[in-house]
Structure 1
Amino acid sequence: MSALVITVMLLPASPAGAALPDMLSHVGDARQLIVVTGQSWTSTQATVRAYRKGPDDRWREVLTAVPARIGYGGWKWAADRRQDTGQTPAGTFTLTEAFGVRADPGARLPYRKVDGNDYWAGDNQDAKTYNTFQAWASPYRTWRTSEAERLAAYPTQYAHAVVIDFNKPRGVRYDTGRGQTVADQPADTRLGSAIFLHASGAGSTAGCVSVGLPTMVRLLTWLDPAAKPRIVMAPAVAIRAA
């Protein structure tokens, strides 16, 4: 069954729902939060809300509860998640970049319009490229296309997407000799890759969070790197510790 898609307005700042962010454990210096909650550890249904912190340091809800879908395997704490389980990692993560098959709708995060050459590598036999964007399938690459997502192959889900910085590699650079992106501090190849906030496909995801396309566009154009946005994700019983 297809995920429900509804149009949602980003509302003027109001104190509604402001208490929840104050109860969260790892928001740090974020002034924008997206909060994803589910009913249980096994549920594939979720709810998304968004909050911003005003000049008075009070959190205000700017996006009321909208339906979302998560992984077909439910939730798992990020450190314990494993590749190919279909579980959505529970925890708090930064949001620093975005991409999409469609043109930039006005994102303030760095936005990359992808085409048929672009991949997201997830080859657990090649740690240095694991969980990285690849601009093409170089003939000299060390990762396998069979273990990567060709992003343009998902025009509905990846119409627009924000990268959730789960299991993020560090020291990412371009290796001109191999024609590929590599990381000096690779991601953990056990945990999984390509976890995004993206537009709705059909039903549950492989670990990502999906929302209706209008909601996705509104969130994408709202997120501001100057506000150091984060996403907090967990079933409701564990959200305060996420």
Structure 2
Amino acid sequence: MLAACAGMTPKPATTPWNDARQLVLVTTADWNATTGTLRRYERNGGQWRQTGETTPISVGRNGSAWGLGLHSPQPDAPQKQEGDGRAPAGVFRIGTAFGYADTASTAWPYEGMGASDWCIDVPASPLYNRIVDAKQVGDAAVEGSTEPMRRDLHANGDVRYKLGFVIEHNAGNRSGAGSCIFAHLWRAPGEATAGCTAMPEPAMRELLAWLDPRRKPIFALLPRNELERLHAQWDLPAPMHAE
């Protein structure tokens, strides 16, 4: 009996993302690292398998911290807060893609941004952590926000939001828990962000072309030691030995 049990295949982990068949996985060296790698994975009822090339990325200027996502709360280590300069760690749904153009080469839901579109990063606002159109909500509602979605028009030609997607951290919009978390382009290789994940434009275009709504993709960001600790429990790929 024991021998039979020893030969049994381990039962797959049960997680809120069991239905995911695509995974965007960002790994950093530790909680304070500002750069890391992004890998894309797919599965068809079995193990996760990497597809495509490994991509260099940058994260928050102060590293990362536990965010609010699909994963269970993790009381140890830093916790994401508004303005802390850390990227949220954990497992998250992927939200709407966005950019400066009206359309993009992707099957993923996409919205072209205009000069009146803002993401609200004011914790006291009832619109906190939401992308809104000032033409609809009024100029007063976006007052104080530092996140125009057309940074090319409001921030001296900034290209970072030319193409990207929402990472659904703090989907319940808890005040002060962190807002406006995106994957977007970087201005220069390795340049840290305020809390987002940044990458080269070709990598973003390839990623968006790959995302398939039918495969219910998720986004995960973890320091290497946390991925080592949690990958089996959370049904994620084990960390790569060579970065």
TM-score, length-scaled by structure 2: 0.76
Is residue 64 from structure 1 mapped to residue 53 from structure 2 by the alignment?
yes
Encode CA deviations 1:162-190: one digit per residue, 9 max, x unaligned. Answer: 10010013xxxxxxxxxxxxxxxxx1111
Q: Which amino acid is the alignment partner of residue 58 of structure 2?
A: R
Q: Give the equivalent residue in structure 1 for 2:181.
A: 195
Q: Give the equivalent residue in structure 2 for 1:161.
A: 164
Q: Give the equivalent residue in structure 2 for 1:95.
A: 94
- Deviation of residue 138 (structure 1)? 5.4
What SS is found at the alignment partner of 2:37?
strand
Q: Give the equivalent residue in structure 1 for 2:134.
A: 136
Is residue 115–residue 151 contact of structure 1 (8 Å, CA) maintained in 2? Answer: yes
Encode CA deviations 1:52-97: one digit per residue, 9 max, x unaligned. Answer: 113x534221123211000001011115211001101110001131
Distance 1:231 1:140, change over 3 A: closer
Q: How does 1:1-242 map to 2 (within 5 A)?
A: 27-54=17-44, 56-79=45-68, 80-126=79-125, 128-136=126-134, 140=138, 143-154=141-152, 155-169=158-172, 187-202=173-188, 203-240=191-228, 241=230
Give, in whole Å, the separation in 2 of the partners of 1:231 and 1:215: 15
Q: Which amino acid is the alignment partner of residue 35 of structure 2?
A: Q
What SS is found at the alignment partner of 1:158?
coil
Encode CA deviations 1:194-240: one digit per residue, 9 max, x unaligned. Answer: 10111112410000001100000010111111111001101111125
Is residue 96–residue 109 contact of structure 1 (8 Å, CA) maintained in 2? Answer: no
What percentage of residue pairs aligned between the two structures are identical?
A: 28
What SS is found at the alignment partner of 1:220?
helix
**Normalized per residue, which structure has more strand?**
1
What count of residue pairs does the alignment treat as equivalent? 202
Q: Bigger shift: 207-216 or 25-34? A: 25-34
- The structure with the larger Rg is 2
What SS is found at the alignment partner of 1:129?
coil
- Deviation of residue 192 (structure 1)? 1.1
Unaligned runs of 5+ in 1: 1-21, 170-186
- Deviation of residue 27 (structure 1)? 4.0
Is residue 137–residue 145 contact of structure 1 (8 Å, CA) maintained in 2? Answer: no
Is residue 46–residue 69 contact of structure 1 (8 Å, CA) maintained in 2? Answer: yes
Is residue 151–residue 160 contact of structure 2 (8 Å, CA) maintained in 1? Answer: no
Give, in whole Å, the separation in 1 of the partners of 2:218 and 2:83: 24
Q: Which amino acid is the alignment partner of residue 220 of structure 1?
A: L
- Deviation of residue 137 (structure 1)? 5.1
Q: Bigger shift: 151-160 or 133-142? A: 133-142
Is residue 26–residue 92 contact of structure 1 (8 Å, CA) maintained in 2? Answer: no
